[in-house]
Structure 1
Amino acid sequence: MEVNRLSDAAQRTLSTWHDLLRRNAMDELDPLLADNIVFRSPVAHTAYPGKAAIKLVLKTVNTVFHNFQYLRGFVSEDGRSVVLEFSAEVSGKALKGIDMLRFDDQGRIEEFEVMVRPMSGLQALSAEMAAQLAPAQAVLTGKRAPV
């Protein structure tokens, strides 16, 4: 998927992001992430702060999603944000969603927000993620680094 009109730095980050997804290589995310990154989940009221939390969430969601694919992308007028529409299945429930990424001046991701529909897909995602991430709540709240 090629998105045009992003800044050159953001475009390089987005291309690398797609490569990491294809290879399921979330451990290689660090260079793409701003130090102050914030992740907003569709199932959590409070944002998850920091690189450790976002890497844990994205690594876990890659095991929960089946038949994941990006469908199309939209770029903001300032060339620093992109919305990527996706589809996937979780526990036999189909869902659609969007990843909203905001890039800093160096092209690193500083905000990552996810929205999902319909409710049945969101509920399946919530249940699967909660089950897998329960032992890592301290990491998700920024109170402890991953083990």
Structure 2
Amino acid sequence: MTAPAPHPFRAAVEAGDIEAAIATLAPGIVFHSPAVFHPYVGRDTVAALLRLVFETFEDFRYTDEIGGSDGTEALVFRAAVGGRELEGLDLLRTGSDGLVQDFTVMIRPLSGLLALAQALGPKVEAAGLKATGA
């Protein structure tokens, strides 16, 4: 039995191709960060955020992919930030056009999330990225 092909976002990330990963995002994508309450909205905003995340994570790798129904995929990952190990989940909801409409990230443990927020926060602020409603 052949394993199903990985989600296009996963395939792009694993290839180290941030532009191909961004191409999988819908123009009106809504990104839910594990560190802030309000979402980031729009492909340009989320693309800028993902570029910063790519620079920040160390030893990023997907370990599992769980296909759901109706275009929902869960991509489980491991990485490090500043020497702190973390585990996370990218929950992708894809529209009928095949583009990611909704992207939620969850990270554990708290120490890993805090390390990510401390490393990424100044970069996000310097880039002028704002969550909707923040």
TM-score range, shorter chain: 0.7 to 0.9
- Cα distance in 2 between the residues matched to 1:82 and 1:28: 18
* Deviation of the 1:49 alpha carbon: 0.4
Does residue 120 (structure 1) correspond to residue 99 (structure 2)? The answer is no
Match of 1:43 among 21, 35, 38: 35
Structure 1's consecutive aligned runs of 4 or more residues displaced over 6 angstroms after TM superposition are none
Q: How far apart in 2 are the matches of 1:85 and 1:141?
A: 24
CA–CA distance in 1 between the matches of 2:26 and 2:117? 26
Partner of 1:7: none
Q: Which has the higher helix share?
A: 1
Unmatched 5+ stretches in structure 2: none
- Root mean square deviation of aligned Cα: 2.1
User: 127, 130, 133: which one pairs with 1:140?
Assistant: 130
Equivalence for 1:82: 73
Instruction: Name the TM-score, length of structure 1 as normaliser.
Output: 0.79
Question: Is the partner of 1:39 in helix, strand or coil?
Answer: strand
1:103 maps to 2:123: no
Matched-pair identity in % = 28
Q: Amino acid of the residue matched to residue 125 of structure 2?
A: A
Contact 1:3 1:75 (8 Å CA) reproduced: no
The whole-number CA distance in structure 2 between the counterparts of 1:132 and 1:31 is: 22
Q: Distance in 2 between matches of 1:103 and 1:3?
A: 20
Q: 1:61 aligns with which of 53, 72, 77?
A: 53
Q: CA deviation at 1:73?
A: 1.1
Cα distance in 2 for partners of 1:87, 1:59 equals 18
TM-score normalised by length of structure 2: 0.87
Conserved in 1, the CA contact under 8 Å of 2:64 and 2:77? yes
Evaluate the alpha carbon distance shift between residue 66 and residue 74 of structure 1 in structure 2; reply closer, same or farther with a 3 A threshold.
same
Tell me, in whole angstroms, the C-alpha distance in 2 between the residues paired with 1:109 and 1:77: 14
Check if 1:18 corresponds to 2:5. Answer: no
Change (3 A) 1:133 1:103: same
How many angstroms apart in 1 are the aligned matches of 2:123 and 2:15?
A: 21
